[in-house]
Amino acid sequence: MSQLKKITIIAIVLIFIFALFPLRSSALGVSAQGAILMEQESGRILYEKNAHEKLRIASITKIMTAILAIESEKLDEQVKVSERATLAEGSSIYLQKGEKIKLEDLVYGLMLRSGNDSAVAIAEHVGGSLEGFVYLMNKKAEELGMKNTEFANPHGLDDHENHYSTAYDMAILTKYAMGNPIFREISGTETYRAPNPNEEWDRVWRNKNKLVTGLYEYATGGKTGYTKRAKRTLVSTASKSGLDTIVVTINDPDDWRDHMNLHNYAFASYELVKIKRKGTIKNIKDSVYKNKIFIKRDVLYPLKEEELDQLEIDIRLLKPKKEWNDAKDIPNIVGRMTILLNDKKIEELPIYYDNGNVSTTDDSVLQSFRMLFFALAGGKYYG
């Protein structure tokens, strides 16, 4: 066999191998200036690139605008559109001065069509003024721990220098927002109809997020963005086999492909493992604590197969005191449970004592259904 034929065969074999296994390698070649892949339940970072670099973020800003509108509990209220809202530059849902529209419809227009006019109308109604709403945005960012973020408007246009965030901070925001069922519903909607006050037909808005509208089967939501200075920005969420993921990219010319590759990398490499089940902690020998202590929530964490052997559960309890003559004398919280992965703390939660003052979580029937659902979704139970 000639040297040329050998090289050709090797090249064909390598191409075949990369075609079969694109997921793990592609995650290493993200073209974004800033990027992050986060597991939604735990917040574990599965991939990052310049994740804490302050960058302009364009319309992914509207995730904050949307969640504040939803949390205002004013979605059923009618919003009177101001002239200032109609004059907003860039993408629009073509609001008209003086028209009245439900706040809920504005949020759909904001998230699906990225309406900058919608963003201003929301801000003025929820915050009392655009400036008042920006204050609320920054206050919420501070509450969520978005340490490298400053908002100057509700839409992300390049009209202020002090409007920026990071891939990490936007992932924190998205994790929080996805905890709200209304936000999840809106973010994952493909098409929405809203009444049109001046026409016989409804306004029909189709989501600009191609991942949601058919490009990616596991997509559950997200937000697109673009300005000349920020370039392409994108937040996407996805779910497969019980694992929920968040991807944020900033200044990414190949964002659709990068997002699919990153989500696929997570799904191929990690499983959401139930490390500890909520309820009574078993195998406690101390007579004071035996069958009396519990944790209030499941401990779930994304893990690679090889990481299972690196887990350690450390339980620390208060030393029982002589004056504890009755269960009611014992404190509500009597210790802490620390979950370690390769000697690094990944979770810590309080341990409660069943003294009659603390609600327990022991509902065997409900728990059985939850464990069955979790197993069917593809999750693993560790202990």
Q: What is the pLDDT of residue 118?
A: 98
Ordered DSSP codes for 71-123: HTT-TTSEEEPPHHHHT--SS-----TT-EEEHHHHHHHHHHH--HHHHHHHH
Query: Does 264 share its domain with 134?
Result: yes
Closest listed residue to residue 251, CA positions, set 30, 33, 28: 33
Catalytic residue among 49, 59, 82, 274: 59
Whichever domain contains 104, its CATH number is 3.40.710.10
Q: What is the pTM of this model?
A: 0.84
Query: Does 110 share its domain with 133?
Result: yes
End-of-domain residue from the set 232, 253, 269: 269
Number of separate domains in the chain: 2
62 is catalytic: yes
Catalytic residue among 49, 82, 91, 114: 114
Closest listed residue to residue 352, CA positions, set 377, 330, 380: 330
Question: Per-residue pLDDT averaged across 239-268, rounded?
Answer: 97
Work out the number of other CB atoms within 10 angstroms of the CB of residue 8. Answer: 11
Question: Per-residue pLDDT averaged across 49-54, rounded?
Answer: 98
End-of-domain residue from the set 269, 303, 326: 269
Pairing mode, strands 293-295 and 344-353? antiparallel
Query: Does 356 share its domain with 223?
Result: no
Q: Does residue 6 form part of some domain?
A: no
Q: What is the pLDDT of residue 1?
A: 57
pLDDT at 382 over 90: no
Q: Does residue 11 form part of some domain?
A: no
Question: Per-residue pLDDT averaged across 131-139, rounded?
Answer: 98
Question: Token pair for residue 52?
Answer: 């804490």
What pLDDT, in 10s, does the model give residues 340-350? 999 999 999 99
Query: Does 68 share its domain with 149?
Result: yes
Q: What is the pLDDT of residue 357?
A: 85
End-of-domain residue from the set 269, 291, 306: 269
CA 140 to chain centre: 16
Q: Mean pLDDT in the chain?
A: 89
Whichever domain contains 329, its CATH number is 2.30.140.30
Query: Does 108 share its domain with 230?
Result: yes
Give every CB contact of residue 375 below 8 A, 6+ residues apart in sequence.
381
Lowest-confidence region among 174-188, 270-284, 336-350, 359-373: 359-373
Q: Which residue range forms the structural domain that includes residue 148?
A: 26-269
5 is catalytic: no
Q: What is the pLDDT of residue 361?
A: 53
Query: Does 291 share its domain with 158?
Result: no
Q: Does residue 16 form part of some domain?
A: no
Q: Does residue 14 form part of some domain?
A: no
Amino acid at 197: P
Count Cβ neighbours within 10 Å for each residue of 128-149 and write b for 16 or more, e otherwise: eebeebbebbbebbeebebebb
Question: Per-residue pLDDT averaged across 66-94, rounded?
Answer: 97
322 is catalytic: no
What pLDDT, in 10s, does the model give residues 293-305? 999 999 999 999 9
Confidence of residue 131 (pLDDT cuts 50, 70, 90): very high
φ, ψ (nearest 5 deg) of residue 360: -90, 175
Q: What is the pLDDT of residue 156?
A: 98
Q: Does residue 13 form part of some domain?
A: no
What is the distance between the alpha carbons of residues 138 and 173, in angstroms, rounded to a whole number?
12
Confidence of residue 363 (pLDDT cuts 50, 70, 90): very low
Query: Does 186 share its domain with 326?
Result: no
Query: Does 106 share its domain with 150?
Result: yes
Amino acid at 271: E
